[in-house]
Amino acid sequence: MVVSADRLPAVTYGVATSSYQIEGAVDVDGRAPSIWDTFSHTPGAVAGGETGDVACDHYHRFEEDLDLLAWLGVDSYRFSIAWPRVLPDGREVEARGLAFYDRLVDGLLARGIRPLATLYHWDLPQVLEDAGGWERREVVDAFARYARVVAEHLGDRVRDWSTLNEPWCSAFLGYDLGVHAPGVRDPRRAVAAAHHLLLAHGRASRVLRETLGAGAQVGIVLNPAPVRPASDAADDRAAVELADGLRNRVWTDPLFRAAYPDDVLAAWDPIADLATLHREGDLQEIAAPVDLLGVNYYTPLYVGARTSGHTGPAPAGPGQDHLVEVPGPAPASALGWSIDASGLFDLLTRLHTDYAVPLAVTETGGAFPDPVRDGGEVDDQDRIAYLDGHLEAFARAGEAGADLRGFYVWTLLDNFEWAEGYAPTFGIVHVDRATLRRTPKASAHWYRALLADRAGAVG
């Protein structure tokens, strides 16, 4: 063990999930399809043809999951609200959808667990996608209205909010690579989606603040990555800068400096009509105050230049066709993602230096082989080592001066891992796919013990 409880920063600790990945019950209580329902039911879109129809059936089993959270001893639970439960047709409020989140939030508070709610973790109502989705500017007002409905309803009990989870995935995996919903492959539309996501964040955060009043915490969750060169060749080192722009600064510069970076604009200029897309006042709206920047971190991004001989797919995101994303060094998790806790330290210290914003790690964790023994036991020492190493990097970033507020493990339950289906398991709790029985893995016992020790140490 690298991390001992007394080394951990005195911040909020928790676990994270998202609606489509765990809830199931996709046609219950008035919920309408989201883009992920449509996408997962499209042949060939998801490994094994799997869908979130059942997922972990958390919609019906949430009391049991709340008991697991209480048993773990977390301070906070990060979850997302399903837009298509709340406004299934994009207009009318569905009271039964809101009532589910009442039950969830009340159950958290009854157990002394602080909710951190994400408004959008990728489940856009299909009806809004049919009207143009993130590509069309109209979606911005639709999102702001959804934010108001939810905040008016839950804001007396939920004080910590994030607007979007990982807009990089929504825009670039969803509209450029087409490997996530809505499965579009069009760089021009991806550039438009990115801008409208940022604008939706800005408009919704103003609505959240107005609705919630003083004392609320409003933020956004990104998945920035430390970008590293495929080799020491000069072209590879030069590739890093642009890839950093299109992965990281494309979000953080508008949010915290009210400006898109010049290199990003230059890369996008041949692709999209930026003069029409980026309107007067947009950047001021995007750069609304952020109380907390959530950072989801799994692995660094390694890039090279085609000119130095690398071949293969470019990193996700329009404007970098001359770059190649290469696999990082071993060891890697079950999805082939290079394991490198130093990347988390690099990210947190860099974000602190460049933007001076309060930070939380809102997701980190790993998919591992997770062989299951009789009765559902999983002795996931590899996941414990991963989390331990990343907590140590987190502690070190705090010691180096980063303003850290929280740390959330991805994820509570083995769940629907998007285009990968159910095969990669990230949970600290095993979910038997046939019975949906939950069994805490060794990592859950480890996290629980760490949190309990810390409680003792903090006193």
Residue 245, CB half-sphere, CA atoms under 13 Å: how many?
18
Known active-site residue 363: yes
Interface residue with ligand FCB, options 19, 165, 308, 425 (CB under 6 A): 165
- Residue number with CB closer to ligand FCB (223 or 248): 223
Choosing from 129, 285, 325, 363, which is the catalytic residue? 363
Instruction: Tell which one of 368, 408, 426, 446 touches ligand FCB (CB under 6 A).
Output: 426
How far apart CA 372 and CA 384 sit, in angstroms, is 16
For residue 120, what are its two tokens?
């959008």
Nearest CB to ligand FCB, comparing residues 146 and 426: 426
Give residues 363-392 in contact with ligand FCB (rule: CB under 6 A). 363
Interface with ligand FCB, residue 408, by CB under 6 A: no
State how far the Cα of 249 lies from the Cα of 254, in Å rounded to an integer. 8
Taken in order 105, 107, 112, 113, the sign of the CA dihedral is negative
Q: Least distance to ligand FCB from the beta carbon of 170, Å?
A: 10
Q: Is 80 in the site for ligand FCB (CB under 6 A)?
A: no
Tell me how far apart the alpha carbons of residues 23 and 17 are, in angstroms, rounded to a whole number.
10
**Residue 223 within binding range of ligand FCB, rule CB under 6 A:** yes
Single-letter code of the amino acid located at 164 = L
- 219-230 b/e with 16+ CB inside 10 Å = b? bbbbbbbbbbbb
Smaller CB distance to ligand FCB: residue 166 or 244?
A: 166
In angstroms, what is the minimal distance from the CB of 166 to ligand FCB? 5
285 is a catalytic site residue: no
| Cα–Cα distance for residue pair 75/372, rounded to 1 Å | 29
> Which range, of 83-91, 163-171, 224-232, 310-318, touches ligand FCB by CB under 6 A?
163-171
Q: Token match 């330290």: residue?
A: 345
Rounded to whole angstroms, the Cα distance separating 156 from 150 reads: 11
Shortest gap between Cβ of 34 and ligand FCB (angstroms)? 14
Minimum distance from residue 364 beta carbon to ligand FCB (Å) = 9
Active-site pick, 94, 135, 166, 325: 166
Rounded to the nearest whole angstrom, what is the least distance from the CB of residue 241 to ligand FCB in the complex?
24
Burial label, 313 (beta-carbon count in 10 A; 0-12, 13-18, 19+): exposed
Identify residues 11-50 at the interface with ligand FCB (CB under 6 A). 18, 21
Q: Are 150 and 83 in contact (CB under 8 A)?
A: no
How are strands ordered across the β-sheet holding 301-305?
A: 227-229, 301-305, 323-326
Q: Toward ligand FCB, which CB reaches closer, 320 or 333? A: 333
Q: How far is residue 323's CA from residue 314's CA, in Å, rounded to a whole number? A: 5
Residue 418 is a binding residue for ligand FCB (CB under 6 A): yes
**CA torsion through residues 148, 154, 157, 161, sign:** negative
Q: How far is the CB of 304 from ligand FCB (least distance, A)?
A: 23
Closest CB to ligand FCB among 272 and 428? Answer: 428
- The residue among 18 and 34 lying less far from ligand FCB, judged by its C-beta, is 18
Q: DSSP readout, 273-295? A: -HHHHS-TTHHHHHT---SEEEE
Three-state secondary structure readout of 180-236: CCCCCCCHHHHHHHHHHHHHHHHHHHHHHHHHHCCCCEEEEEECCCCEEECCCCHHH
Tell me how many helices (H) and strands (E) the chain has.
18, 13
Q: Which of 51, 163, 296, 364 binds ligand FCB (CB under 6 A)?
A: 296
Shortest distance (Å) from residue 410 CB to ligand FCB? 5
> Is residue 166 within the footprint of ligand FCB (CB under 6 A)?
yes
Q: Counting contacts by CB under 6 A, is residue 251 touching ligand FCB?
A: no
For position 77 contacting ligand FCB by CB under 6 A, the verdict is no
**Binding footprint of ligand FCB, residue count (CB under 6 A):** 12
- Report the candidate in 123, 128, 290, 135 with the shortest Cα–Cα distance to residue 208: 290
If you write DSSP's letter for every residue of 380-426 in order, what string do you get? -HHHHHHHHHHHHHHHHHHHTT--EEEEEEE-SB----GGGTTSS--
Nearer residue to ligand FCB within complex by CB, 211 or 296: 296
- Could you tell me which stretch among 149-157, 165-173, 211-219, 277-285 binds ligand FCB (CB under 6 A)? 165-173
Residue 448: phi and psi, rounded to 5, are: -60, -45
- Only one of the segments 141-149, 208-216, 279-287, 410-418 lies at the binding site for ligand FCB (rule: CB under 6 A); that segment is 410-418
Q: How far is the CB of 135 from ligand FCB (least distance, A)?
A: 21
Interaction between residue 282 and ligand FCB (CB under 6 A): no
Which residues are catalytic, by number? 166, 363
Judged by the rule CB under 6 A, the positions of this chain that interact with ligand FCB are 18, 21, 165-166, 169, 223, 296, 363, 410, 417-418, 426
